[in-house]
Structure 1
């Protein structure tokens, strides 16, 4: 993969309209895109290789199924913002809010392929956030910001996509079986094949 320059990344930033669409579509189309986080003047960049779609308050695997709470308020807000939460009291997870306000939909970023300045492993949502330096301070962050954003990947690198059931949502009944996990076929950085 060619490492993009900062100027190229700035021009390729995904517009808000990208996120204001069907959540499963956004989850698929985020594959191959670049997550960029500026930390102490250094750009940490990873190629998104695995996602999960949480399609709204009717999705029993989604945090939004419990309604609007202090934790989930961001999910019900405008698209194109970060929803960051803590799981097991120690791992941060980064989601991208999708669809229109009030929908409670988001895409979990599960794994990255390191591109630039990524220390440590990036296969799994907690490891991804640790390597990228993302924590609760970024909950609600506008993904149009210079500090944290997503850029389009190379048009020449259209990935072959695998669809599977999401991980760790057995409690969600029939929703646990929905093929709403997407990953790039054959990528070594996917969290679980």
Structure 2
């Protein structure tokens, strides 16, 4: 795509409405696939297609931060309206989740991987590497590439500078176990990780337990 085409394309990033985020969490986790995550900073605009997500359904989900209705300064935003950004630190990495479930139902969807779409040179500088496949194929990698930080905690994902826009509808979606939650009892086996089938930017490929097909005619 030519530079001037990209500039025009960036102007077409239109945030999704609040109603989009009011879907049940498992449905939202699938619906987010193919959507575009956009971040505007002083350095420019970066954007990527969401290609992998994980659903966390507290308070009954032992892998969720809100398990047993745990309400802390960190999880407070999970008890608020759907469509807010829940950012938190994991070791030295910032991760971004989409709050779901509605008020007083602390659920969320983790954005695990993106397919780089726009502002790729900015992403490369932030990550200090040129390998396109490795820029955003993980939850910590994508936030660093896009300049997403703890300052985005609680931000409405329907307005600038951080928002989610309409993208494409994947032909098929795969599902399997979530990653990095081995100490969560039976919850570690829930097939609540979703990814665009065969997408090379997914953080970790594994045999899917389920596959969903969509009509791509619309």
TM class, shorter-chain normalised? over 0.9
* 1:163-178 → structure 2 map (5 Å cutoff): 163-178=175-190
SS of residue in 2 equivalent to 1:137: helix
Equivalent residue in structure 1 for 2:82, among 76, 79, 102? 79
Query: Where in structure 2 are there 5+ consecutive unaligned residues?
Result: 125-134, 206-218
Structure 2 CA distance for aligned equivalents of residues 178 and 134 of structure 1: 28
* 1:85-124 → structure 2 map (5 Å cutoff): 85-88=88-91, 90-118=92-120, 119-120=123-124, 121-124=135-138
Structure 2 CA distance for aligned equivalents of residues 41 and 132 of structure 1: 10
Q: Segments of 4+ in structure 1 off by > 4 A? A: 1-4
Question: What's 2:11 paired with?
Answer: 7
- Note the aligned Cα RMSD (angstroms): 1.6
How does the TM-score come out when normalised to structure 1?
A: 0.92
Q: How many residues align?
A: 188
- The 8 Å contact of residues 84 and 154 in structure 2, kept in 1 or not, is answered as yes
SS of residue in 1 equivalent to 2:184: helix
Greater C-alpha Rg = 2
SS of residue in 2 equivalent to 1:63: coil
Deviations 1:112-165 (A, max 9, x none): 0000113141011000100010110001011122100001113xx433111000
How does the TM-score come out when normalised to structure 2?
A: 0.82
- The 8 Å contact of residues 57 and 104 in structure 1, kept in 2 or not, is answered as yes
Query: Where in structure 1 are there 5+ consecutive unaligned residues?
Result: none
